Amino acid sequence: MTSDSEAAAQLNPVIHPIQRLRICALLEPVTEEEFAVLRDLLDVSDSALSKQLSALTTAGFVTQRRAASMGRSRVWVQLTPSGIRAFRSHIRALRDLTA
């Protein structure tokens, strides 16, 4: 078991904001998810989701790809391998804090 200060040091400041934590939690069990589905599950605006995804993308934790489907452009989002590792590490640190 780690001390509270060690666990806090392991918290990832990019993932820690609640909306980013929720995004990672939704993406971790799936290969990828459509932007609109994430927006609806999180109950946020397109711009709010875009802002959070931008921070995660800049950190290298998520990737986004555009694909056309039925004449519409759709955006698909997925955690990168480093994003998965960072998210799992962050969750371990949260568990350590609550233990």
Residue 88: phi and psi, rounded to 5, are: -65, -40
Three-state secondary-structure class, residue 35: helix
What fold is seen in the domain 4-98? Answer: Arc Repressor Mutant, subunit A (1.10.10)
User: Could you report the per-residue pLDDT of 41-73, keeping only the tens digit for each?
Assistant: 999 999 999 999 999 999 999 999 998 877 788
Nearest to 33 by CA among 85, 51, 25, 56: 25
User: Could you report the per-residue pLDDT of 66-77, keeping only the tens digit for each?
Assistant: 988 777 889 999
Contacts (Cβ under 8 Å, ≥6 apart) of 5? none
Contacts (Cβ under 8 Å, ≥6 apart) of 38? 23, 26, 27, 49, 77
Boundaries of every domain in the chain: 4-98
Its pTM stands at 0.86
